[in-house]
Amino acid sequence: MIELFLGGCRSGKSKLAEQAAADTGLSVIYLATATGDDQQMRERIQQHQNSRPSAWQLLEEPFKLAQAIEKHAAPENCLLVDCLTLWLTNCLFKKDLEYYQTQKQQLLLALENSRGKVILVSNETNMGVIPLGQLSRDFCDQTGLLHQQVAALSEKVTLAVAGLPLLLK
């Protein structure tokens, strides 16, 4: 089963996804996509790490998310991916669009074929005005398309607003 949690920055989406993972009673493998490129990001990563149960296994995978899902998805595991937008950012801005498109197709196939519970977290970026710059528009376009494709594969989709879950699917 695939479950997607969407929300804005500090919306509570990660906390809701973590609770959903804990509620499965399965062994949780946390697939982190963030990279600590600056001090603020390192602090945010540390806050996330401190809030998670110590029994959860942590795997850091900023690029090859599909391969990590293929390797670790199993009926006895719950994979928690946090987050898709950071993964997309890594692929687009540290590699390129062609690399991202290849990785995205592999991710969608891995999700479609996964043998266990997969919970994904992502930032909803497209609920405001259209960004002025091409780079920002391209990012928002790719994010929106990714969310549509992952949501289509998901059995459950939740939007987090102010820490509250709104069930979309």
DSSP letters of the chain? -EEEEEE-TTSSHHHHHHHHHHHT-SEEEEEE-----SHHHHHHHHHHHHHS-TTSEEEE-SS-HHHHHHHH--TTEEEEEE-HHHHHHHHHHHT-HHHHHHHHHHHHHHHHT--SEEEEEEE---SSPPPSSHHHHHHHHHHHHHHHHHHHH-SEEEEEETTEEEE--
Please indicate whether residue 72 is annotated as part of the active site: no
Q: How many residues does the chain have?
A: 169
Of the candidates 3, 14, 48, 90, the residue annotated as catalytic is 48
User: What is the C-alpha separation between 5 and 121, in angstroms, rounded?
Assistant: 5
Q: Which residues are catalytic?
A: 48
